[in-house]
């Protein structure tokens, strides 16, 4: 059997809630200068163990604030665990905050080159595929390609971002509610792209609240409740556990 491409072992991360406000208000009025060192600390994820095999499509399911995006950031290496560890055996294409890498003062054309090269696409590749990237992003982006991105709508930025990132050859794809931001036409394009990438044998980790998207793409599911992994099974089993909780 293949080695897991993602492997979490006793994974945990600790955050501090509202650090600056607590220091000011609590120190001044409640603790009169003294403050417990653990005040405001919490574990959005703890004791998490799971494995993802190459080619798996894994749905991450749970209510708001249960640590789903935090888990994707841990897989992407943007956050470092405080307990246990996460092994990722392959490069990660993060379809997370798709317009986050964009520089508002640069044009769409310049941003495609900037973001593409930051993710490792060569300038020769970007030149060769530029027209295709822009046409995938849609007519509005095509027309505004030499306009600074600050004048783009948020949907336009996301389309352009998705268009660049979907060209990455990375074996692992992380997606956080990407399909929720676009219009129906963009969603159709997203679906076709994800289907193509899965058919190529990529591994997908998808965070979504949309049952149709989850069952369309994912075979496996992880259900999180208050930072704990409660179900590691089929996507149906994970969704059933989630629905049982939200319907009661």
Ligand X SMILES: Nc1ncnc2c1ncn2[C@@H]1O[C@H](COP(=O)(O)OP(=O)(O)OP(=O)(O)O)[C@@H](O)[C@H]1O
Q: Closest distance between ligand X and the C-beta of residue 182, in Å?
A: 17
Q: Which is nearer to ligand X, 13 or 149 (CB)?
A: 13
**Number of C-beta neighbours around residue 104 at 10 A:** 12
Residue 149, SS3 per DSSP: helix
- Interatomic CA distance for residues 42 and 7, integer angstroms: 23
Candidate residues 48, 69, 141, 242; the one interacting with ligand X per rule CB under 6 A = 69
Site string for ligand X, 195-214 (x = CB under 6 A): --------------------
| 70 near ligand X, rule: CB under 6 A | yes
The arrangement of strands across the sheet holding 83-88 comes to: 41-52, 6-16, 83-88
Q: Closest distance between ligand X and the C-beta of residue 62, in Å?
A: 6
Residue 78, SS3 per DSSP: coil
Q: Which is nearer to ligand X, 67 or 94 (CB)?
A: 67
Site string for ligand X, 43-62 (x = CB under 6 A): -x-----------------x
- Interatomic CA distance for residues 154 and 229, integer angstroms: 33
Distance in angstroms between the alpha carbons of the first and the last residue of the chain? 40
| 64 near ligand X, rule: CB under 6 A | yes
For the chain, strand residue ranges (E) read 6-16, 41-52, 57-61, 83-88, 92-95, 172-176, 203-207, 220-225, 228-234
| 67 near ligand X, rule: CB under 6 A | yes
Residue 150, SS3 per DSSP: helix
- Interatomic CA distance for residues 246 and 248, integer angstroms: 6
| 15 near ligand X, rule: CB under 6 A | yes
Q: How many residues bind ligand X (CB under 6 A)?
A: 11
Q: Looking at 30-38, 68-76, 120-128, 155-163, which segment touches ligand X (CB under 6 A)?
A: 68-76
Q: Looking at 66-74, 85-93, 94-102, 148-156, which segment touches ligand X (CB under 6 A)?
A: 66-74
- Considering only residues 122 through 141, tell me which ones interact with ligand X, judged by CB under 6 A: none
Candidate residues 21, 65, 105, 118; the one interacting with ligand X per rule CB under 6 A = 65
Q: Which is nearer to ligand X, 62 or 108 (CB)?
A: 62
- Interatomic CA distance for residues 52 and 124, integer angstroms: 34
The contact set with ligand X (CB under 6 A) reads 15, 17, 44, 62, 64-70
């Amino acid at each position: 059997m293949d080695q897991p491409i993602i492997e979490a072992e006793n994974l945990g991360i600790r955050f501090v809630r509202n650090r600056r406000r607590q220091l000011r208000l609590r120190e001044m009025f409640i603790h009169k200068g003294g403050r417990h060192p653990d005040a405001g600390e919490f574990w959005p994820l703890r004791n998490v163990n799971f494995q993802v095999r190459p080619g798996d499509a894994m749905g991450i399911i749970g209510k708001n604030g249960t640590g789903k995006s935090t888990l994707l950031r841990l897989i992407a290496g943007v956050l470092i665990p405080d307990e246990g560890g996460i092994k990722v055996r392959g490069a990660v294409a993060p379809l997370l905050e798709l317009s986050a890498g964009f520089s508002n003062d640069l044009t769409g054309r310049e941003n495609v080159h900037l973001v593409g090269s930051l993710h490792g696409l060569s300038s020769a590749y970007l030149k060769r595929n530029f027209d295709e990237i822009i046409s995938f992003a849609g007519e509005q982006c095509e027309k505004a390609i030499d306009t600074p991105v600050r004048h783009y709508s948020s949907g336009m930025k996301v389309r352009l971002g998705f268009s660049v990132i979907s060209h990455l050859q990375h074996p692992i794809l992380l997606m956080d509610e990407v399909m929720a931001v676009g219009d129906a036409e963009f969603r159709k394009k997203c679906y076709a792209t994800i289907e193509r990438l899965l058919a190529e044998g990529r591994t997908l980790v998808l965070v979504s609240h949309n049952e149709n998207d989850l069952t369309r793409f994912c075979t496996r599911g992880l259900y999180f409740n208050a930072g704990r992994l409660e179900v590691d099974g089929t996507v149906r089993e994970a969704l059933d556990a989630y629905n049982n909780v939200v319907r009661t």
